[in-house]
Amino acid sequence: MKEDFDNEMKLEFISKSSNEAFARAALAAFAAQLDPTIEELSDIKTAVSEAVTNCIIHGYENKQGIVKIMARLKEDEIIIEISDKGKGIENIDMAKEPLYTTKPNLERSGMGFTIMESFMDTMEIESIVGLGTKITMSKKIKPKNQEEEDNEFQMITKQ
């Protein structure tokens, strides 16, 4: 049977904050196949960073664990799953509230989920206390007309 997507990648790395930049760059390179604008790409990178940081500092609380990412392209959409097998979230509704954080002393602002929700089209949280957390996000990349493409080209060449 033919699968229900056009492309797929999987990534696994240990929960070190130095891998955040790696995850962002890898996802950006994969998403580039959909020909996103610089802004769309930057939204995806920001959302990925927030989710990966959460796995590292909340899921594993800086102990060593594995962060997994799966991304799929389907037509003009990218679907990204980011998961850990860490401590899990007790109250998902509360965790999604802007400014809610369980680590206020670590200079956390409690805006991670709000950022993921606003930068992506959809964001879902599945979590079981003691077993881990999975975030699923998706974003449609808008088809470009010629004028936008020309502007984008000018932006890139001017940099």
Query: Binding-site residue total for ligand ATP (CB under 6 A)?
Result: 22
DSSP alpha helix (H) spans, the chain: 19-31, 38-54, 92-96, 112-119, 146-158
Rg (CA), the chain: 16
CA 64 to chain centre: 20
50 is catalytic: yes
Give me the least distance between CB of 151 and ligand ATP, in Å please. Answer: 32
* 84 binds ligand ATP, rule: CB under 6 A: yes
* 33 binds ligand ATP, rule: CB under 6 A: no
Asked if 91 and 38 touch (Cβ cutoff 8 Å), the reply is no
107 is catalytic: no
Q: Give me the 38-57 binding string for ligand ATP, x by CB under 6 A, dash otherwise.
A: ------------x---xx--
C-beta closer to Mg ion: residue 54 or 83: 54
Angle at 31 (CA atoms; ends 132, 153), nearest 5 degrees: 150
Long-range contacts of the stretch 16-19 (C-beta < 8 A, 24+): 16/56, 17/53, 17/56, 17/57, 19/52, 19/67
* 37 binds ligand ATP, rule: CB under 6 A: no
Binds 142, which of Mg ion, ligand ATP, none (CB < 5 to 8 A, cut-off by type)? none
Give me the least distance between CB of 40 and ligand ATP, in Å please. Answer: 21
Asked if 80 and 27 touch (Cβ cutoff 8 Å), the reply is yes
Q: Give me the 52-71 binding string for Mg ion, x by CB under 5 A, dash otherwise.
A: --x-----------------
Binding site for ligand ATP (CB under 6 A): 50, 54-55, 58-59, 84, 86-89, 95, 100-103, 108-113, 133
The catalytic residues are 50, 54, 108
